[in-house]
Structure 1
Amino acid sequence: MTVAGDRSTNFPDSGRTGQPDGISWQWQQSAEGLPYLTCSLLERWSHGFFTRDFSPQGPIDLTEVLAPGSPVYRLQQVHGNVVLKTSQLPPVVALDPETATPTYASADGLVASRDFEALWVCSADCVPALIADTGTGLVAAVHAGWRGTAAKILPEAIAQLVAVGSQLENLKIALGPAIGGEVYQVSVEVAAQLGATIAPQNAVSATADDILEFLHQLPESPVLTDPEPGKVRLDVRLCNALQLQQLGINSSQVAIAPFCTYSDSARFFSYRRDRLKKIQWSGIVSASNTSSC
């Protein structure tokens, strides 16, 4: 069994992500001395963005780091925008891999239904998003790749929280380590798909070039130029943050981790870098109320 250790280095959430002052990221250590990342926005909840050092441990083992004994929930992620409530799913149980093959519901987001549930998503370069509600104590975990972001999975998760009583002003959202915009090359068409989700409504019939021009003019643009024709650099994290702004969520409620999975090979797996199907996990545990978190 592993438990959370003491905090180590603080990293202010700054740089190109343009986050407000007062938000920081901290490295924690498990009892075995393995590092995982936490965010000050979510300090009232047991949570963590885990590194490659924990591989091949999965959600059952990692829940013992955050909240031993809590029921565990995970999904078969499919790069879509389906978000499920834990009340729709059985908790994950340990199986003998030699005698049983686990099956999981196909979706990319989880919303807690009860207190003290551990919700998990995995990623390599995609954005892991952990959401918490200071009013209800409920949480959500979302896997937001470019396809899921284009399908607005994060707003879908927010909508489901609101449907069960959350108020937008009570939400805290931490976007964990993901591939940075400086190194994530995509086609103009892909960038335009994501841009269409944050462009004005009258841009529905706009061309890809029109949408990219709109994105370039934003104060915190999620696109950068690329020397290869037909390509740009895209920051999927910023696309998600801009979608949250459109919902009316204040920037002080959103944090973006200052770590790039592609560039930091010592800490993170990256499919774009290595072309290997290796992952790290991110999880958060719901709480009955924030005063006891």
Structure 2
Amino acid sequence: MNDVEVIRAETLAGVAHGFLGRRGGVSNGVHAGLNVGTGSDDAPEVVAENRVRATEAVLPGAKLVTLYQVHSADAVTVAEPFAEMLRPHADALVTNRPGLALGILTADCAPVLLADREAGVVGAAHAGWKGAIAGVTDSAIAAMVALGARRDHIYAAIGPCIARASYEVDTGFVHRFLASDPANEHFFADGKPGHAQFDLEAYVAARLAAAGIGRVEAMGLDTYTDADRFYSYRRSTHAHEPDYGRQISIIGLQD
């Protein structure tokens, strides 16, 4: 398992966690590497092996728990593992139970890992633009507080996601964010005519800070430009590839 790359955040030091890319897996072809996407066209047994490798690299012996992600603002509280076929349709999950590895899958969207060390509560959120503007991180924080976490004791880290320089959007996209809050103008830079560049990571960081948590760390890792290290839906689309892999971010409490 030593070839699996685990990227850790200083903010979450002392908590079992990791942002994983594509290094260290057994997938081949367009999925080459540590593809954990059950919704991809990759062989199920290969994806299963990658998921085992990913979990063991972060929290050995833990049970991996993931969601059927739908770009929502919904968060679920996990008390025990659920079967893969019974995954809730949601985009954030939290727990205070040791031995559970909370996993979020991404391929350009922002993975957010959160922890209140003192309360023993952790969370993970999938923040694509739809979930981010709808408040998925707010939902995750609220669910953590319901388990006994304190907002000012919650630390968060934003893992590999598409960077502003790589994220071109149209004016309709911009107007949607400005209608939500005119101050969102700060997250856009000028692009080619009729387009702009959106800073998803900065937007998610601002939402986390506005929620009143203790600390936010943005890793500054661009999935789009680093093909050797990360999967990217947009890069695969631009390259006219038939499918794309998904990477995982994991956090959990040790027994």
TM-score range, shorter chain: 0.7 to 0.9
Letter in 2 for 1:228: P
Q: 2:187 aligns with which of 200, 222, 241?
A: 222
- 1:40 and 1:255 map into 2 onto residues whose CA distance is 8
Aligned partner of 1:169: which letter? D
Residue 39 (structure 1) aligned with residue 9 (structure 2): yes
1:286, distance to aligned residue in structure 2 (A): 1.9
Are positions 1:81 and 2:73 aligned together?
A: yes
Residue 253 (structure 2) aligned to one of 286, 289, 292: 286
Instruction: Answer yes or no: is 1:171 the counterpart of 2:136.
Output: no
Match of 2:229 among 267, 270, 275: 267
Is this contact kept in 1: 2:6–2:18, CA < 8 A? yes
Q: Who is 1:15 aligned against? A: none
**What residue in structure 1 maps to residue 130 of structure 2?**
147
Corresponding residue number in structure 1 for 2:204: 240
Residue aligned with 2:52, SS: helix
What is aligned with 2:81?
A: 90
**Structure 2: stretches of 5+ with no match in the other structure:** 26-33, 36-48, 238-242
State TM-score, norm by structure 2.
Answer: 0.83
SS of the residue aligned with 1:61?
A: helix
Question: 2:220: which partner in 1?
Answer: 258
| Normalised TM-score (structure 1) | 0.72
Q: Do 1:115 and 1:138's aligned partners in 2 also have CA atoms closer than 8 Å?
A: no
Q: Is the 8 A contact 1:72 1:91 kept in 2?
A: no
Determine helix, strand or coil for the equivalent of 2:172.
helix
Higher Rg: 1
| Aligned-residue offset at 1:196 | 4.7
Pick closer, same or farther for the CA change 1:224–1:156 going to 2, 3 Å. same
Look up the equivalent residue of 2:253 and give its one-letter code: S
Matched with 1:11 is: none
Q: Percent identity?
A: 30
Shift of 1:189: 2.6
Gaps of 5+ in 1: 3-30, 94-101, 200-210, 289-293
Give the distance between the partners of 2:227 and 2:167, measured in 1 at CA.
Answer: 15
| 1:105 paired residue number | 88
Query: Would you say the 8 A contact 1:169–1:249 is kept in 2?
Result: yes
Question: Would you identify which runs of 4 or more consecutive aligned residues in structure 1 move more than 6 Å?
Answer: none
Query: How far 1:118 sits from its partner (Å)?
Result: 0.7
Contact 2:209 2:216 in 1 (8 A): no
Q: Take 1:196 and 1:167, find their aligned partners in 2: how far apart are those partners?
A: 31
Amino acid at match of 2:119: T
Who is 1:61 aligned against? 53
Distance 1:48-1:184 versus aligned 2 partners, 3 A rule: same
Aligned-residue Cα RMSD (Å) equals: 1.9
**Once the 2 structures are TM-superposed, how far is the Cα of residue 34 of structure 1 from its aligned partner?**
3.0
Write the mapping of 1:6-25 to structure 2, written as runs, cut at 5 A.
none
Q: What residue is the counterpart of 2:63 in the other structure?
A: 71
Decide whether the 8 Å contact of 1:138 with 1:287 is kept in 2.
Answer: no
